[in-house]
Structure 1
Amino acid sequence: MIRFAIFVALALGVVGPAHAAEETLGEKVKKALSTPTPTSTPHKKRKSTSKKKSASSSSSPSAKKKHASPSPSASAKPKEESSPTPEPSETPSATATPSPTATASPEKAKRGAPNATLLPDSLSGFENYPPKVRELLISALELTTRNLDYKYGSADPANGGMDCSGFVYFLLKQNGIGDVPRDSSEQYIWLRKAGRFEPVVSEKEDSFEFDNLKPGDLLFWAGTYAIQRDPPITHAMIYLGREEKTGRRVMVGASDGRTYQNQQRFGVSVFDFKMPRADKAEIEDGKTRPRFIGYAHLPGLRD
């Protein structure tokens, strides 16, 4: 009996520790199974931190953009402040422009009809003119298109106008005649000494004294204004020929009131070539009246 009791006691002692061993293994298994949970949690934490970092990083440029946005607005403000500065500079220029136009308009109103011009082909027989004569007259008619005024003492169209002898001087120089004098009286002497002058005493336009008058000749007057000069030549122009449509004689040059088609023109223009006529009152009062002296053939045009 005693041996049986000891055997039973030993058997119970073996079962107890085995159960304990089983518990320890279960605990180990539980611990092994429970380990992924803590490992998964740090992964979740890492993901969350990465999201937070990405969120923080994404929020940082937006914040920078938000902070940068006021800077252009601030830079735009000085531009708006600088924009009114050119505006006042433009306003005085705009106010300055009407002043010359206002002064120029009454002058044009006082100066009669606009300057007249002609096409070279509107002259009768222009195609048969000598080549140098055609070149001279084309240059002369081109000057009539520039709206040049009559300016006493000027021989350059860059001044806005010329006087009669200044027109002749500029035109002949432009066409290669280099020894032409500046003054109309000196131009008369220059051609008279060269034996190229044709005097006209008659006051009739159909006088035989005009038989040798040719396009390109230089026309001379005396007494167009009062001046102490010897010889008293006061006016000069270039003869163009006859108009194709009307058959009238025309000339070109600078004048302060001669007429074309019965209208006064002031400046570089085409004019009617008419013999001057004085009123009886002017003759009785002894006033100076214009007289046509004659014409001269320019050197080098037909030689």
Structure 2
Amino acid sequence: MTVVSQWSGPFRSFEYWADLAENEPDFLIAGMLHAATNTVSGKPTVGKTRLVAAMAAAIAREDETFCGSEIVGAGPVMVISTDAGETRRWGLRMREHDVPDGRVGIAKFNPLDWRLYEGQAKAARLLVVDNLTGCLGDARIGDDDAARKFCTPLAEIAENGTTVVMIAHSAKNSEAQSGRYTPTGVMGSTVYRAWERLNLHMHDVTEPNTRAVAIRSNDHSNRDLVLRAEWGRSSADWSLLNEREDTRQRTEETHQRRNQLFDRVADDPELCRVDSARGVGRGLFEKYPGEWTTSEAAYKAFGRARSTAGGEFIEGRWQIPA
């Protein structure tokens, strides 16, 4: 067998990509916002922009959780807005969410500025594009070529390590007052569905202060949430009311590996007493050299293990509630 010792041009050895996959989280908000590419869909005025704004604010503030889900990564946020007056609205939303000065940058969309966006995104943890229809200009929503042209630079930004969220409308129908759920997903070209790693769909309004949300991703089990909103002038504060359990089977090997890691921590007399997941990650990295490349990778692995096992820090130690 011939072994290629040195790859050149656009090719890199598989070890390079494997290290990136192991050291970077799958999600920015566990099970709610993918670390790569996301779409948030729903009818106009249903509340999807306010939900994304609340997520962005939590990431910029470096909160620990959002609606009960762990925020795995945090940092500066970029927002690109298309609709008239929305740059000001986004500024007001961030102020209402008490985001510290300088943590969120907002710009009016200009199709000539993609290189500027790509450059500045390298310093951001999250890029929000609000919204798809406005960015397309005169192009039709179902135009595959226009969709590819739009998604290509966003994919490049995500490839460089910045999470991307695209806000988009869902297909129109007559179910708004029926109490039935709309189909999930972005209206238009299938290119958008191929581009996204996660879709968060906000269903039609049936009650004024609650929203049903469906989250679909190949990298996580299905999530169906009911969120409560406390409406502000331009923003909303969100909380989790309930979540319907996903009954799909996950791979047995993944479940077993994650449960075993949580059990290892829970049974360790020192690690079980460390009250932060990040601290546990540092402890695992030091105690088991060679198992993880960095303490950050160990922290993320423990985060996934804790989520799978349902573990919590209770009464001074990590354990699974009775």
More strand by share: 2
**TM-score, structure 1 normalization:** 0.25
For the pair shown, the structure with the greater C-alpha radius of gyration is 1
